[in-house]
Structure 1
Amino acid sequence: MLRHLAKQFSANCGKMTPNSSSRLLRKRVAREAALLLYSSQEKEYKQAKERAAETLGIRVLPTNREVAEELDAIAEELEGRNRQNRLIRMRKEALDIMCVLKSFHPKLVGSVWRGTAHRNSDIDIAVFSEDPNLVVNVLNSKGFRIEKTEFAPTPERGKAGASFHVFVRLPSGDEVEVVIRDPEQRSLRYRCEIYGDTIKGLDIEGLRKVLAENPLQTFVPKRRS
């Protein structure tokens, strides 16, 4: 199916004249990059875009948002109604684990917050603690299956830093990545590398409200005209 989508898109783009705009070329690269991300052949947008451009022999690169929009379209085409059901389930799972970690001020971020999750997405939750072991101990005490933990570099406004990541596998098969940051970072605002907006996320009450009122609500900023 992915190969069919790629061929179909290439055929449509093949009708372009030599003077076609860079916008259409970017869209072609964005589609190819999105296919690489969706099929898990690449994990990062930068590498996916560069590989897609090289494969297609095109020098212009799309924005991360353009790739994200193609990725969203592919997921919608291939997953249909199952995608909506999965998003609701993942948001409910996120609420459950956030309630367990409520003393660490959890926030749901990533694609499950955005409402753009697809079948290969995980649940991203940010928490704050001076001691990562406290978070790990709570998860263990509640019977969560921790698959691995690791430190990862996180540059903060030009300064080198690190966060502790805990990967949890849920009974549904979904993966949760809990990112543990220093409490001093609670007031920091992070810019999204994909959409360019501030990552606000959802706290427990915010997520409860979404699930009660509009469980499929999306949090994607509108394009600037």
Structure 2
Amino acid sequence: MDWGPAKQRAARDLGLPRAALPGNDEVEDAVREHIAIFHADTQPGELRALRELAATWMGRLAEFRPHLTGAVWRGTATRLSNVHLQLYCDDSKATEIALLNRGLSFDVAETSAGRGRSVDMLILDVPCPALGERVTLCLTILDFDDLRGALKPDARGLTERGDLSALQTLLDTPG
């Protein structure tokens, strides 16, 4: 789950105002600590498998300028994580047509794209041979113009997403 929805659910379940919850950086730090303590032996391999799967799909969807985001990009993913790709398209229906032409089935949902606007998310159930199981692939369809500023780093100097070249650099970096 993304930090925002997770924090909203936690606030609701605990009966707290959302302002009482930690910031995204604090949540991410806690997740990294949890992984280091409880999943250090399995998480690196699972993360690599999900990143390789993302790279495969980014290659397949290259015409839509895919960028990996979320836990798989940030390095906090486990085998239970979804793979999130953001696609930057001139025509929002072009991705759906391309998937249908390839004989792929998907569900359509709506997600927030910031600034109060909703966009389509295509959800696929795809095999991940390295994990020996199926993984949810979420394709968020954004306007081509949204690509500007998409690679701006956060306060820690980390980006929220990366293209196939950036992902390949992560895959090629040991450790």
TM-score, scaled to structure 2: 0.77
What corresponds to 1:151 in structure 2?
A: 110
2:63 to 93, 96, 103: 103
- Whether 1:208 aligns to 2:168 is yes
**1:39-78 maps to which residues of 2 (within 5 A)?**
43-49=5-11, 51-52=13-14, 60-78=20-38
1:170 to 126, 135, 143: 126
| Uncovered stretches (5+) of structure 1, i.e. residues with no partner | 1-36, 217-225
In 1, Cα distance between the equivalents of 2:24 and 2:73? 18
In 2, Cα distance between the equivalents of 1:53 and 1:63? 18
What corresponds to 1:128 in structure 2?
A: 88
Change in 2 beyond 3 A, CA 1:192/1:68 = farther
2:47 to 87, 103, 106: 87
In the TM superposition, what is the alpha-carbon distance from 1:154 to its structure 2 partner? 2.6
For residues 144-182 of structure 1, what are the alpha-carbon distances to aligned partners after superposition, in whole Å with 9 as ceiling and x for unaligned?
A: 442x112334333xxx42221011111131111111111
Change in 2 beyond 3 A, CA 1:119/1:74 = farther
Structure 2 residue identity aligned to 1:186: L
Q: CA RMSD in A?
A: 3.0
Please say which structure displays the higher CA radius of gyration.
1
Which structure: greater strand fraction?
2
Count of residues in Structure 1 that have an aligned counterpart in Structure 2: 166
What corresponds to 1:9 in structure 2?
A: none
Contact kept? 2:153, 2:160, Cα under 8 Å: no
Contact kept? 1:107, 1:203, Cα under 8 Å: yes
Larger mean CA deviation between 181-190 and 95-104 belongs to: 181-190
